[in-house]
């Protein structure tokens, strides 16, 4: 029997191969596909509401598969799958969101105002992302740098090493991030503010796996999503980045909520 197909989309700032350990637990039973880096193809630039990024994902799926796929996405990746599925439900058998909350009406309204006033950088992750360090002398130096950061401290060690291996590139000036921090900031800055309007439009089966300590889910007001969308909710211990913290448990949770083939 052929393996079922998962089309995966990564979180903002984390190229797909950062998830290598998670994939390793799924690959015996699933065929996993992905684009290594979203938002870096000049043909699909970051625009307000991520429309071009939706097009990039849609075309990737349409050009690669004849049958509906399982759309698996972490944060940015999950939201992109949802947005693509609204107009193209035929592409999906099921969607699984890894800590990818649909923001509430109040949060959406706040984002809309901040964009209009050109203040979004003050209240989103884009400000910190633009200023993040982006050059190291060696992979060992990069590993020590990230290991000391609270955001990365809980990472499974193999995952952190995969991030250093696949999330950086060697240049004449030293080791640089593979995911351009300016593009990462632009993605945060252009977060769609119309996500509450998806209510009543989802026709593909959707499941959600969240981190019990996810700050992002709290800011998005996850209870709005729980009240208004026909989604199957599950939670694992961890932060918004729980797929990097507990990849084995995340893979097991994914398999447990997949609908029958």
The CATH classification number of 4-257 equals 3.40.50.1820
Number of neighbouring beta carbons within 10 Å of residue 27: 14
149 vs 108, residue with greater confidence: 149
Q: What's residue 106's pLDDT? A: 83
Q: How far apart are CA 88 and CA 60, in angstroms?
A: 13
Average pLDDT over residues 134-154: 94
Q: What's residue 2's pLDDT? A: 76
Confidence of residue 108 (pLDDT cuts 50, 70, 90): confident
Average pLDDT over residues 107-135: 68
**pLDDT tens for residues 11-30?**
999 999 999 999 999 999 99
Contact 194, 217 (CB under 8 A): no
Instruction: Give the residues across from 140 on adjacent strands.
Output: none
Q: What is the DSSP string of 182-244?
A: HHHHHHHHT--S-GGGGTTT--S-EEEEEETT-HHHHHHTHHHHHHHS-EEEEEESS-TTHHH
57 vs 130, residue with greater confidence: 57
Is residue 1's pLDDT more than 60? no
Q: How far apart are CA 14 and CA 49, in angstroms?
A: 20
**pLDDT tens for residues 186-223?**
999 899 988 999 999 999 999 999 999 999 999 999 99
Q: To the nearest whole number, what is the mean pLDDT of the chain?
A: 92
Lowest mean pLDDT among 75-79, 124-128, 176-180, 216-220: 124-128
Domain definitions of the chain by residue range: 4-257
Burial of 170 (0-12, 13-18, 19+ CB in 10 A): exposed
Q: What is the DSSP letter of 136?
A: B
């Amino acid at each position: 029997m052929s393996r079922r197909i998962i089309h995966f989309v990564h979180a903002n700032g984390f190229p797909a191969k950062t998830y290598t350990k998670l994939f390793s637990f799924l690959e015996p039973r699933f065929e996993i596909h992905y684009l290594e880096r979203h938002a870096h193809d000049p043909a699909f630039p970051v625009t307000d509401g991520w429309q071009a990024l939706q097009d990039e994902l849609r075309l990737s799926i349409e050009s690669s598969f004849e049958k509906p796929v399982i759309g698996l996405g972490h944060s940015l990746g999950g939201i992109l799958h949802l947005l693509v599925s609204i107009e193209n439900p035929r592409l999906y058998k099921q969607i699984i969101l890894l800590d990818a909350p649909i923001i509430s009406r109040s949060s959406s309204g706040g984002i809309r105002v901040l964009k209009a006033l050109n203040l979004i950088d003050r209240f989103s992750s884009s400000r910190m992302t633009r200023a993040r360090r982006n050059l190291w002398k060696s992979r060992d130096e990069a590993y020590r740098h990230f290991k000391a950061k609270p955001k990365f401290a809980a990472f499974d060690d193999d995952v952190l090493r995969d991030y250093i291996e696949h999330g950086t590139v060697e240049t004449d000036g030293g080791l640089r991030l593979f995911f351009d921090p300016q593009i990462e900031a632009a993605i945060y800055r252009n977060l769609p503010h119309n996500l509450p309007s998806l209510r009543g439009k989802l026709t593909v089966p959707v499941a959600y796996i969240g981190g019990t300590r996810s700050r992002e889910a709290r800011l998005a007001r996850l209870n709005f999503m729980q009240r208004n969308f026909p989604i199957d909710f599950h939670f694992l211990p961890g932060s918004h980045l729980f797929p990097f913290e507990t990849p084995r448990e995340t893979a097991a949770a994914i398999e447990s909520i997949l609908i029958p083939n």
